[in-house]
Amino acid sequence: MQGVSNQDIKPETAERLNGLIEQFVGKNADYYKQIFGVMMKAPGYRFTLNWMAGLLGPVWFGARGLWNWMLGFLLLETMAYIQIGMGLFGDLGREYRERAEQIAQTLELRRQQIAAAESSGSSSLDALKRASESLEGALSGAQQAAATADSTGTFFFMVGIILLLAVKLLTAALANWTLEMQFAKWRSDRSVASGWSDTRMIISAAASAMVVILTSIKFAQPDALGILKAFPNNREWRLNVGDGVQAAFDWTKLHGRGFFDSITFGMRTLLDWIEVVLVDTPWPVVAFVIVMLAYLSAGARVAIFTGAALAYLGLLDFWEKAMTTIALLGAAALISITLGIPLGIYCARRPKVYSVIRPILDFMQSMPSFVYLIPVVAFIGSGKPAGVVATMIFGSPPVIRFTVLGVQQVPETVREAALAFGATPRYLLWRVDLPLARNTIMAGVNQTILLSLAMVVVASLIGAKGLGEDVLEALQYAAAGQGILAGLAILFCALILDRIVAGKK
């Protein structure tokens, strides 16, 4: 068969397709015209062997621009070369010899102690002799294990060869299939890598050689290159950078004291108002309002569950701390949602702004929650306002992301129809975009509330009070029962809020 069969495709189409294949593959065009002609007859994988790809391995994939496949096969081949390297020049008994040396040192110390005991007539002589005999047995066992490990070099070598041949065969079997998939992508998107690039080949060959050689040396002879054992560093650099960061913190605290004081005052005022409602108000009134909210939002079943959960909080003496926790959570969530939804709407229609905001959101979600406490305590201090700020930072990214996603998913056809009927930008936002994006935005609100509640225990480390204190005390004093009860209280708070916000399904 020469190229794509004329029986399956019209002559002009076959000629054009063969031209595209020749343009895409570069080298060995006749071979790939024939192979692609066979593979295009039916979808899915077709078994073929590309021996050149099998021989070159990752270098072939790199030269073809298939970098994902190049990395995967490089890792597989590296595993094989590690086995070969350990079989040829590996110090396989190194661990056992080091253990034997440690035992020998201990044994020499025991022998000295035995000699001293014999000269002084000590009553511990028999115990020392028994310990010495035990150490001699352990030393013999370690030496024998080292000899046995050294003799397994041939086994490692053969395993490496078999593994390498299997990887080469797999490479040869998948090469044409992966290249044909790349060709299909290239036909619709010419930015996809094509042809055979000598530059890519040199880069992939150098990378493969570096990975294989350095990894094989590290596993076979760990002490051969000291630089491979630990990343080169200088502790003074870390200390200097840390001093610089501390100086920046000190400068910010000094010149921004009024700003941070105003934040603290605002947070404390908001918390006080919410605590007046939840803590100072008689508990029957608070319980009634919460149950009614659950009933109106999600129905009778959720209202019954809410009543049972509130009874659990009250009967086990968690009521006041639970209300304090919900107040802290409510303040943080209220600020996050109030700022997050408008910011998400603004970013949804301005991709350039969102490209700046998105890395900040990634940073906020990726940073461990405990790390938030360091700058928060440095600028805000400890206590409930600091807990609100830390919770707000941790919980605000979801509502922003989901708002952006919801608004961006509004069909353009619907927006164009509204504009065609004379909708103003304000009308378009309130009557078209937000109603259609409501479910997605509410999912973001729900995630923000739950993530904020997840900070309860962490925030208790800086004096935020609430149920997190009980969990923290249980961890400190190993009081498993009390810790489980407090954890269930936090869980019930989360479920109540989740059901009320989610509403009826």
The structural domain count of the chain equals 3
- What is the model's pLDDT at position 175? 92
- What is the model's pLDDT at position 263? 83
Note whether 103 and 60 are same-domain residues.
no
- Would you state the structure tokens that stand for residue 146, as one six-digit string? 């080292």
191 in any annotated domain: yes
Instruction: Grade residue 10 by pLDDT with cuts at 50, 70 and 90.
Output: very low
- What is the model's pLDDT at position 102? 86
CATH number, position 359: 1.10.3720.10
Taking only Cα atoms into account, the Rg of the chain, rounded to an integer number of angstroms, comes to 34
Contact call for residues 493 and 325 (beta carbons, < 8 A) = yes
Q: Rounded to whole angstroms, how far apart are CA atoms 293 and 295?
A: 5
Instruction: Grade residue 112 by pLDDT with cuts at 50, 70 and 90.
Output: confident
What is the Cα 461 distance to its own chain's centre?
25
402 φ/ψ angles, rounded to the nearest 5 degrees: -70, -35
42 in any annotated domain: no
- What is the model's pLDDT at position 451? 83
Instruction: Grade residue 445 by pLDDT with cuts at 50, 70 and 90.
Output: confident
- Would you state the structure tokens that stand for residue 380, as one six-digit string? 């805000």
Instruction: Give the domain range for residue 68.
Output: 47-90+157-228
37 in any annotated domain: no
Note whether 257 and 169 are same-domain residues.
no
Note whether 59 and 170 are same-domain residues.
yes
- What is the model's pLDDT at position 165? 95
- What is the model's pLDDT at position 9? 41
Note whether 201 and 103 are same-domain residues.
no
8 in any annotated domain: no
Top mean-pLDDT range of 173-177, 371-375, 469-473: 173-177
Annotate 59-84 with DSSP letters as a single string.
HHHHHTT-HHHHHHHHHHHHHHHHHH
11 in any annotated domain: no
Q: Rounded to whole angstroms, how far apart are CA atoms 29 and 327?
A: 70
What would the mean pLDDT of 458-469 be, rounded to a whole number?
78
Instruction: Please choose, from the candidates 155, 181, 168, 146, the residue with its C-alpha nearest in 3D space to the C-alpha of residue 64.
Output: 181
- What is the overall mean pLDDT for the chain? 84
- What is the model's pLDDT at position 6? 41
* Residues whose CB is less than 8 angstroms from the CB of residue 148 and which lie 6 or more positions away in sequence, other chains included: 93
Mark out the alpha helices in 229-256 (DSSP H runs): 235-255
Instruction: Look at residue 30 and tell me whether its pLDDT is greater than 90.
Output: no
Burial level of 143, CB count in 10 A (0-12/13-18/19+)?
Answer: middle
In this prediction the pTM is: 0.67
* Residues whose CB is less than 8 angstroms from the CB of residue 192 and which lie 6 or more positions away in sequence, other chains included: 65, 182, 185, 186
Instruction: Grade residue 168 by pLDDT with cuts at 50, 70 and 90.
Output: very high
Note whether 204 and 86 are same-domain residues.
yes
62 in any annotated domain: yes
Instruction: Please choose, from the candidates 11, 32, 8, 9, the residue with its C-alpha nearest in 3D space to the C-alpha of residue 20.
Output: 32
Instruction: Look at residue 252 and tell me whether its pLDDT is greater than 60.
Output: yes
Instruction: Grade residue 504 by pLDDT with cuts at 50, 70 and 90.
Output: low
Note whether 313 and 169 are same-domain residues.
no
Contact call for residues 139 and 98 (beta carbons, < 8 A) = no
Contact call for residues 394 and 372 (beta carbons, < 8 A) = yes
